[in-house]
Amino acid sequence: MKCRKCGGRAVLELRRHNTAFCADDFLAFFRRQTLETIRRWKMFTREEPVLVAVSGGKDSLALWDVLVEAGYRTAGLYIDLGIFDYSRESRARCEAFAAERGARLVVVRVAAEVGAGIPQVRDVTRRPACSACGLSKRYIMNRAALEGGFSAVATGHNLDDEAATLFGSTLRWDASALARQTPVLEASHPKLVRRVKPLFRLSERETAAYAFLRGIDYIVEECPFARGATSLTHKEVLNRLEDASPGAKASFFLNYLDRARHLFQASEAVDLRECARCGQTTTGEVCAFCRLADQVRRAAGPTGPARAEPTDPPALRGLISDLRAASEIHAP
Amino acid sequence: MKVILRNQGKEVELAGRRRVRELLSELGVLPETVLVIRGRELLTVDEVVREDDVVELRPVISGGRR
């Protein structure tokens, strides 16, 4: 197979674009797609400091790599979930990635914020690990970006992630989830930071190929709690469709954004207020994250490794100066 | 050829040469779900894998949510 650009040997076929690229032309294509998405969707400017949430996986490290190369002002945020070897290895990869590029990485431990790592939280709450994990990550990302003075939080969500989420929401006709699904979630409250997904037009296979061709040492192993997750079943179904009809995933998600999302947005007016405990946004009196931390604290008993005081806002305190320093960095 | 199925912790030995497309189909793997890696290069589905090659099928699917 030949590269459509230069006629050299192709390393990746993109069936949905009916094309194939050599390594150099694919990397250029990937960068162009990402940077055009950032510009077209007004995700952030080159002057704004951006906090990139990195997991050690291919998507977030590929995104950070593109942004660092393009000269954006970024710092990485690694959220240590406390998931045994998986967390240790993914953290080590993020640290090595940052060190190689002279980029700033801030590490926040879920255990320091909630009182326990995700495995213990799962046992205490008796809910799937993914649910406490998602809640904790969203909370910590926003809080870290807000307190560090960042303009946006960027995540590595790719086309497959977005299509699978849309598929799941559609199966349930979950109108509020459908309304919230967007590549740019604007800050609708002073305590919220804009959340953006610059890779949403690129498939999972494309981000994996980018990471491989760039020599990024990412964690290939899957989170042990993800096995059997519904979202993986949805991805499998969508990949079968994609195989039979290239472009199905992109058409499903991108046409949703163009043609259908506005219909759901109209029904979604949420009244946000500040959590009485930590000051972050919530629709109730106390936010879901503080309630989760309370639950962990109660289960641990008086001797447990809980956050110091129930009335304390979650830590991050020791990290605020780190975060502020990170947001003040300039492009390398 | 030796085929390493990364994440399944499995290796498969296959006799003879064949195209990547045939290899994936034989193993029941959708091309969209893996990178096919030989040494430091990525292979497209029309490339031929030789008898003495070692290839890795690296899954690209990640993430979990319930």
ipTM field: 0.95
Q: Which residues in chain B are closer than 8 Å to A239, comparing Cβ atoms?
A: 30, 32-33, 61
Q: How many CA atoms lie within 13 A of A17 on its CB side?
A: 16
Strand order across the beta sheet in which A50-54 lies: A105-109, A74-80, A50-54, A152-154, A194-196, A184-185
Question: What is the H or E stretch that residue B18 is in?
Answer: strand B18-19
What is the SS3 assignment for A197?
coil
Measured in degrees and rounded to the nearest 5, phi and psi for residue B62 equal -145, 170
Contact A58 B62 (CB under 8 A): yes
Q: Which residues in chain A are closer than 8 Å to B59, comparing Cβ atoms?
A: 220
What do you get for the CA distance between the two ends of chain B, in Å?
A: 38
Nearest Cα residue to A61 out of A43, A84, A78, A46: A78
pLDDT of the residue at A311 = 42
Summarised one tens digit per residue, pLDDT across range B16-27 is 999 999 999 999
* CA-based nearest distance A155→chain B, Å: 13
User: CB of A163 within 8 Å of any CB in chain B?
Assistant: no
User: CB of B41 within 8 Å of any CB in chain A?
Assistant: yes
Per the DSSP assignment, residues forming a β-bridge with B54 are B2
What do you get for the CA distance between the two ends of chain A, in Å?
A: 37
E strand residue ranges, chain A: 12-14, 19-21, 50-54, 74-80, 105-109, 152-154, 184-185, 194-196, 273-274, 281-282
Which pair of structure tokens corresponds to residue A26?
Answer: 């694919």
Angle, helices A159-172 vs A204-213, to 10°: value is 160
Contact A57 B59 (CB under 8 A): no
Contact indicator for A201, A184 with CB cutoff of 8 Å = no
For A134, which of B30, B46, B65 is closest by C-beta distance? B65
**Cα angle A39, A40, A46; round to 5:** 10
Contact indicator for A326, A104 with CB cutoff of 8 Å = yes
Distance CA A297, CA A295 (A): 5
Burial of residue B12 (number of CB atoms within 10 Å: 0-12, 13-18, 19+): middle
Q: Which of A3, A11, A234 to mutate to test the interface with B (most CBs of B within 10 A)?
A: A11
> What string of pLDDT tens digits covers the 332 residues of chain A?
999 999 999 999 999 999 999 999 999 999 999 999 999 999 999 999 999 999 999 999 999 999 999 999 999 999 999 999 999 999 999 999 999 999 999 999 999 999 999 999 999 998 889 999 999 999 999 999 999 999 999 999 999 999 999 999 999 999 999 999 999 999 999 999 999 999 999 999 999 999 999 999 999 988 999 888 889 999 999 999 999 999 999 999 999 999 999 999 876 678 899 999 999 999 999 999 999 999 999 998 766 555 544 444 456 766 777 888 888 765 55
pLDDT of the residue at A75 = 97
Low-confidence ranges of chain B (pLDDT < 70): 64-66
Per the DSSP assignment, residues forming a β-bridge with A106 are A77
Q: Which residues in chain A are closer than 8 Å to B64, comparing Cβ atoms?
A: 130, 222-223, 225-227, 229, 231-232
